[in-house]
């Protein structure tokens, strides 16, 4: 009885939609460690850190939730040690929300020798080369140890560019695995388990998966298997179809997305949450995100440019440093990628806030038009 009532509290109170414009929503997401606003961008902190930034700095730029990679955390330092030391929040000194992925995607994408069977994902340990097996039960066990506010079901991931019976097999297996994840989940009162919609680019398979997951009445749902090389029209069509079939009162998370433009479009289609390594990865290559698109700090023209990265950006980097100074640092000194990561994540947080406020204030179409006009006209 205690278990049931706590489960219901976790499910019912998680999301409150505060405003809408057509399909776009601005919502409040009440997670165990922090109350977030959607649309919500999650930076990826592979091993409990966003490279080069302190947790104080992440709070300063308005970061509400960080994604931790279960696969990397299990390899080092190990989920048992994280649990023994009080969970990942305490371990990394992060008081706000956390989400962990299932670990499956990393294995399939990073390890050539990963093999998927009904039991789970078999892979060769990068530490000692021995065969290892990640089952739905093991993924949930590890994520229970890590202690994130949102945990993800283990799914059978296939690239959208693959066609044929493998897509159907993966979708049905994802549905079978969700029941094993639900049964294995030991902390439904403090950790919200999200299911993942698979089905490639096939609308019939996506529909079966959406319906199957919605029947399980999960706290939230993710749209998976996208951002893998499919064309934009197919990508947006799948997002639009899935958001239309998912419950109005539950968060919808588009995994591995994305570029600022993708986030704006997916929010218009009714999605709420996103994660992507792009802002921090591109920072390490010397590229800054600006309203016009991107600014490449390595270019010779930057060497004498006294302006900040983005004169309209209120972040610490834009207040204090010139493009000329950053030009000297980028790709040569760790400080360069730290400062650019700080600015790029500030840009994404500002975009999330702007989306939220424009929906709440009934000026979402104007915001989207303004955003698109800047991006389309001024990108070189
Ligand atoms: Zn800035």
pLDDT tens digits for the chain (380 residues)?
444 444 444 444 799 999 999 999 999 999 999 999 999 999 998 777 888 899 999 999 999 999 999 988 998 899 999 999 999 999 999 999 999 999 888 777 776 667 889 999 988 877 788 888 899 999 999 999 999 999 999 999 887 777 889 999 999 999 999 999 999 999 999 999 999 999 999 999 999 999 999 999 999 999 999 977 889 999 999 999 999 999 999 999 999 998 999 999 999 999 999 999 999 999 999 999 999 999 999 999 999 999 999 999 999 999 999 999 999 999 889 999 999 999 999 999 999 999 999 999 999 999 999 999 998 654 44
Superfamily of domain 2-276 in the CATH hierarchy: Queuine tRNA-ribosyltransferase-like (3.20.20.105)
Q: Is 231 a catalytic residue?
A: no
Quote the ligand 1 centre to 308 CA distance (angstroms): 8
Cite the annotated binding site by residue number: 101-105, 155, 198, 225, 313, 315, 318, 343
Quote the ligand 1 centre to 345 CA distance (angstroms): 9
CA distance linking residue 261 with residue 258, whole number of Å: 8
CA-wise closest residue to 264 among 354, 155, 133: 354
CA distance linking residue 85 with residue 91, whole number of Å: 6
Where in the chain is CATH 3.20.20.105? Answer: 2-276
CA distance linking residue 37 with residue 16, whole number of Å: 10
The kind and range of the H/E element at 83 are: helix 79-84
Cite the annotated binding site for Zn(2+) by residue number: 313, 315, 318, 343
Q: Indicate which residue of 101, 156, 272, 310 is catalytic.
A: 101
Q: Is 333 a catalytic residue?
A: no
Quote the ligand 1 centre to 311 CA distance (angstroms): 8
Quote the ligand 1 centre to 325 CA distance (angstroms): 14
Calculate the alpha carbon distances from 226 to 119, 201, 258, 347, 379 in Å.
Answer: 24, 9, 10, 23, 25
Q: How many CB atoms lie within 10 A of CB 228?
A: 16
Contact 39, 273 (CB under 8 A): yes
Q: Indicate which residue of 156, 262, 272, 275 is catalytic.
A: 275
Quote the ligand 1 centre to 93 CA distance (angstroms): 25
**pLDDT score recorded for residue 93:** 94
Contact 341, 279 (CB under 8 A): yes
Q: Give the side-chain half-sphere CA count within 13 A for 81.
A: 8
């Amino acid at each position: 009885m205690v278990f049931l009532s706590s489960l219901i509290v976790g499910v019912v109170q998680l999301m409150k939609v505060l405003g809408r414009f057509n399909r776009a929503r601005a919502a409040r997401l009440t997670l165990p460690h922090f109350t977030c606003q959607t649309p919500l961008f999650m930076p990826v902190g592979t091993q409990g850190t966003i490279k080069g930034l302190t947790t104080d700095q992440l709070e300063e730029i308005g970061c509400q939730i960080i994604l931790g990679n279960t696969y990397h955390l299990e390899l080092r330092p190990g989920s048992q040690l994280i649990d023994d030391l009080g969970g990942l929040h305490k371990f990394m000194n992060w008081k706000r929300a956390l989400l962990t992925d299932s670990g499956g995607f990393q294995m399939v994408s990073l390890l050539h020798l990963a093999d998927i069977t009904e039991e789970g994902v078999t892979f060769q340990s990068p530490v000692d080369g021995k065969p290892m097996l990640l089952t739905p039960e093991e993924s949930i066990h590890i994520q229970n140890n890590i202690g994130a506010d949102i945990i993800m079901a283990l799914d059978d991931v296939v690239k959208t560019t693959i066609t044929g019976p493998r897509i159907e097999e993966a979708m049905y297996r994802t549905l079978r695995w969700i029941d094993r994840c639900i049964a294995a989940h030991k902390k439904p009162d403090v950790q919200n388990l999200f299911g993942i919609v698979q089905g490639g680019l096939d609308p019939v398979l996506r529909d079966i998966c959406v319906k199957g997951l919605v029947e399980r009445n999960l706290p939230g749902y993710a749209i998976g298997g996208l951002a893998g090389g499919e064309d934009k029209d197919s990508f947006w069509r799948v997002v639009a179809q899935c958001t239309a079939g998912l419950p109005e009162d539950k968060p919808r998370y588009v995994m591995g997305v994305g570029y600022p433009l993708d986030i704006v479009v997916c929010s218009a289609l009714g999605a709420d949450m996103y994660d992507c390594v792009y802002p921090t990865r591109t920072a390490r290559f010397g590229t800054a995100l600006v309203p016009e698109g991107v600014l490449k700090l390595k270019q010779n023209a930057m060497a004498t440019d006294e302006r900040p990265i983005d004169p309209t950006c209120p972040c610490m980097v834009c207040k204090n440093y010139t493009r000329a100074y950053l030009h000297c640092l980028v790709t040569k000194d760790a400080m360069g990628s730290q400062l650019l990561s700080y600015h790029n994540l500030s840009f994404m947080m500002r975009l999330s806030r702007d989306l939220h406020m424009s929906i709440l204030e009934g000026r979402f179409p104007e915001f989207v038009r303004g955003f698109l006009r800047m991006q389309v006209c001024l990108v070189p």
